[in-house]
Amino acid sequence: MNNTKKPWTFITNHGLVLSYIFKNPSHTAREISNEIGITERTTHNIIIDLESVGYIIKQKQGRKNLYTINTNLPLRHHSKQDIIVDDLLHAINSSHTE
């Protein structure tokens, strides 16, 4: 019997992609997927999800995309709709040094 549990994290892949785009708005899906550790196809699907509900806006800039995040939208979970995306992004992207 294998007692190895699948590792889990607090932030979903959607949150990780959004956070990565927040810091790197002109990076490609390949760069995003390589950093996060998910497939490029999964990254594309997440970007489509985020774009379809207005969390990100994608603009073509030559051969690349430039992403803008709508930071004023609330989080999607019904129990966390009082928190806006901006709060989450700043919390998970801040670097605390002591």
How confident is the model over 27-50, as a mean pLDDT? 97
- pTM of the complete model: 0.86
User: Is residue 24 one of the residues assigned to a domain?
Assistant: yes
User: Is residue 97 one of the residues assigned to a domain?
Assistant: no
- What is the count of structural domains for the chain? 1
User: Is residue 17 one of the residues assigned to a domain?
Assistant: yes
User: Is residue 6 one of the residues assigned to a domain?
Assistant: no
Bridge partners of 68, per DSSP, are 57
User: Is residue 36 one of the residues assigned to a domain?
Assistant: yes
User: Is residue 38 one of the residues assigned to a domain?
Assistant: yes
User: Is residue 53 one of the residues assigned to a domain?
Assistant: yes
DSSP for 41-83, please give it.
HHHHHHHHHHHHTTSEEEEEETTEEEEEE-TTSBPSSGGGTTS
- Domain limits at 24? 13-71
pLDDT above 80 (res 12):
yes
CATH number where 48 lies: 1.10.10.10
